[in-house]
Amino acid sequence: MNAAPLVLLMMGSDTDLPIMQEAADILRMFEVPYEMRIASAHRSPARTMTLASEASGRGVKIIIAGAGMAAHLAGVVASKTILPVIGVPMPGGALNGVDALYATVQMPGGIPVATMAIGKAGAKNAALFAIQILALSKPHLAELLLHYRADMDKELEQKDIALQTR
Ligand code: RP5
């Protein structure tokens, strides 16, 4: 996207991209400008901290951070900014995302991370949650969110009708 990003989507590895793409797809659908970056709390700590600490000055309003295994990305990012940080635990590894969930959600008091579900549902909800925050000051996004929910309702109703007539 060309406009200045309102949402910064960070991920610990390029292997997280297929999951984090879910978040990008939602942001694109709502025409919210975003930027996607690969930066790791462990493998590239200095660059991660620079991205986090410079985000607000670049006009970013919300950061979404997805990472797997001993997932410290969202917490480290949150420690370097007062922007809201939404964490997405990645599946995979020996514990299939439960490790990342605990690492992301169990923040010590003082540095919050809004943690979503493991995997694709979490990435999708992270983007929707970011849009809900933006919608507090952007009424057109509130409108779009209401349409999105109405469409979901309609789609499910159609599936129910199809089930009854099977
Ligand atoms: C984390 O380690 C990444 O977020 C990724 O989910 C996990 C494994 O990374 P790769 O070894 O696949 O690059 O830092």
pLDDT in tens, 56-93: 999 999 999 999 999 999 999 999 999 999 999 999 99
Give me the pLDDT at residue 18, please.
98
Domain ranges of the chain: 7-139
CB 62 within 8 A of CB 91: no
CATH class of 7-139: alpha beta
Mean pLDDT of the chain, nearest integer: 97
Q: Within 13 Å and on the Cβ side, how many CA atoms surround 166?
A: 7
Distance CA 37, CA 54 (A): 13
Q: Quick check: CB of 90 below 6 Å from ligand 1?
A: yes
pLDDT in tens, 139-150: 999 999 999 999
Category of 97 on φ-ψ map: left (φ > 0), alpha (ψ -120 to 50) or beta: left
Averaged pLDDT, 97-116: 98
Distance CA 8, CA 87 (A): 12
pLDDT in tens, 109-124: 999 999 999 999 999 9
Which protein residue's CA is at the shortest distance from atom 6 of ligand 1? 68
Q: Quick check: CB of 56 below 6 Å from ligand 1?
A: no
Q: Quick check: CB of 10 below 6 Å from ligand 1?
A: no
Given the structure tokens 């514990």, which residue do they identify?
Answer: 95
pTM of the model: 0.97
Which protein residue's CA is at the shortest distance from atom 3 of ligand 1? 12
